A and B are shown apart, each in its own frame.
Chain A
Amino acid sequence: MSEQITFTIDGKQCTAEKGDTIVAAAKKNGVYIPTLCDFEGLKPAATCRVCTVKVNGAPTTACSATVSQGVEIESNTEEITNIRKAVVEMMFVEGNHFCPACEKSGSCDLQALCYKYQMMVPRYDFTFPRKELDATSPKLLIEKNRCILCKRCVRSSITTNGKSLFAVAKRGNKTVIQMDKTLAADLSEEQAKEAMELCPVGAILKKETGFVTPIGQRKYDAAPIGSDIESNA
């Protein structure tokens, strides 16, 4: 059995195993730290910064940093909450998040965080980007204007022969996710479903499945994101 360590989150005494990421350690103790780019089974990338916490006073990303003995972590403070809300708002205005017209609405992690932080209006100006929509795959639709560049899809190898279906192209504010058209042509139903479920927003969609779940029964209709973790406190 690995070594148990103790630490605090917002003054609460917590225990976890040495080597746990702060997000995982917090989860074990019933504390929800919001994440977007983090996904179970994938190596942390720390691209979205929404999991920002302060460890002994220094800001860091809780998905990539591991917890150590005796550290004091700040998570749900007014300052950190404001930083997270700002990050969420920034991602929201950088894309075209027309929620009423999006297939992922109600089950979208970005939208759920907007709800959690009660974003009535983003503090930043909308950018209204115009990026190309890729509908070439028979099974997948890629709406790049909704992509938050979390790279979950790039980090996971969806195809079985070791080739990656998704890759990053271009740089700076022109950065986009590209889909390998040859691999995309032969995707199975399960692989297409897996790709859609990997995406925290409505950028990767499985065709012919939009709006299947009625309003009221979607993932975040009734309970805020993270409430399942917080109920274990």
Chain B
Amino acid sequence: MSKPVVATASLAGCFGCHMSILDIDERILDLIELVEFNKSPVDDIKTFTKQCDIGIIEGGCCNSENVHNLKDFRKNCNILISLGECAIMGGLPAMRNGIPIKECIEEAYLDGPTVADCNEKKILPNDDEIPMILDRVYPCHEIVKIDYFLPGCPPRADLIWNAVAALVTGGELALPYEVVKFD
């Protein structure tokens, strides 16, 4: 039987959750025995080459590219997991939620203390190549169906390991108090 296939992505995240995946330490050797990686920053495969069993999403959706990627993952993965605070509730990028997007953009490119003097032509980035920023940051489950949620900033390596191992082996997910934390 072929190994279960895992894909991962970082949307509006900081890659901290991916660092926490690596933080399973020597168990990474067990992991590559258990699963095969497809599209992921871990192996640098850029596009899906087959249907995957498990998709792991770090980060919420702050722009049109994030939404596109997330929908692509939903289509290509049988089980989708929101990994970390940003994927689950928007996280730090969502601190802009509630502030009108116009105010955010003006603060970032026109009025902020580090830009006020250097953007003389008052240019706002508007190239077609740049993904369109969304009105607010959306948790992943507000865009597509998400099957499981693993909180933490970052989620503890043990939580990630326990969850992936339980999914792959069909065992029960162990959730000791120490592994479910929001910071």
Contacts and interface: CB of A to CB of B under 8 A. Distances in A.
Nearest to A223: B177
Given A120-B151, A130-B99, A101 B92 contact: yes
B182 A100 contact: yes
A98 B136 CA distance: 15
Contacts of A222: 177-178
Nearest to A131: B98
B147 to A, nearest CB: 11
A122 B139 CA distance: 11
Given A121-B88, A121-B151, A130-B99, A99 B182 contact: yes
A210 interface: no
Interface in A88-133: 96, 98-102, 105-106, 111, 114-115, 118-122, 125-126, 128-130
Interface string B68-94: 000000000000001001001111101
B149 A121 contact: yes
Contacts of A106: 183
Nearest to A125: B142
A224 interface: yes
Contacts of B95: 96, 98, 101
Contact of B182 (A114, A129, A130): A114
Interface in A57-116: 96, 98-102, 105-106, 111, 114-115
Give chain A's interface residue range (CB within 8 Å of chain B).
20 to 34
A128 B94 contact: yes
Interface of A: 96, 98-102, 105-106, 111, 114-115, 118-122, 125-126, 128-130, 215, 222-224
A129 B183 contact: no
B150 A100 contact: no
A70 B21 CA distance: 53
Nearest to B178: A222
Nearest to B159: A120
Which residue, B85, B177, B178, has most C-beta atoms of chain A within 10 A?
B177
Contacts of B149: 120-121
A203 to B, nearest CB: 16
Nearest to A224: B177
A105 B182 contact: yes
B77 to A, nearest CB: 18
B141 interface: yes
Nearest to A218: B183
19 contacts: A96-B98, A98-B94, A98-B95, A100-B91, A100-B153, A100-B183, A101-B92, A111-B182, A114-B182, A118-B180, A120-B150, A121-B82, A121-B88, A125-B142, A126-B94, A126-B97, A128-B136, A222-B177, A222-B178
Closest CB pairs A-B (n = 3): A130-B98, A99-B182, A100-B153
B175 interface: yes
Nearest to B181: A115
Nearest to B137: A128
Nearest to B87: A121
Nearest to A118: B180
Nearest to A128: B97
A126 B177 contact: no
A177 B97 CA distance: 21
Contacts of A223: 177
A125 B136 CA distance: 14
Given A100-B182, A128-B94, 6 more contacts: A98-B91, A118-B175, A120-B148, A128-B90, A130-B98, A130-B99
B23 to A, nearest CB: 15
Contacts of B139: 126
A105 B95 CA distance: 16
Given A118-B175, A120-B149, A120-B150, A126 B89 contact: yes
